[in-house]
Amino acid sequence: MENILGLIGTIIGALGFALAVFVAVIQAKEQKRNAQEQARNNRLMFLADRIFDSSIPRELRQPFYEEYISMKGNGTAVRFWLLEGEREKKLLQPS
């Protein structure tokens, strides 16, 4: 009887250990995925800040805009860039 209880305890312990390892691996993968998404968001925010910075000449901000678009960035920064371009075209056209 004691041998059976010892065997059952060993099996349950091994299963518990395997489950703990499995959960740890899943958590590590999730943390890695979240870190990659966070790095992407941080890069998009940096690029958007450069796009909105009117103190930098537009031609120097062009690479930031292109990278922003290549990363599938959209929204306010893109609209700002396009509207700013239209404004500059109107200013350069003779009336």
In angstroms, how far is the first alpha carbon of the chain from the final one?
Answer: 101
Residue 17, number of CB atoms within 10 A of its CB? 10
Structure tokens at 80: 């700002």
pLDDT at 75: 83
Confidence category of residue 1, pLDDT binned at 50, 70, 90? confident
Which residues make Cβ contacts (< 8 Å) with residue 88, sequence separation at least 6? 58
Is residue 65 classed exposed, middle or buried when 0-12, 13-18 and 19+ CB atoms within 10 A define those classes?
buried
Q: Would you mind telling me the total number of residues written for the chain in this entry?
A: 95
pLDDT at position 5 over 80:
yes
pLDDT at 95: 60
pLDDT digits (tens, 9 = 90+) for 8-63: 999 999 999 999 999 999 999 999 999 998 999 999 999 999 999 989 999 999 99
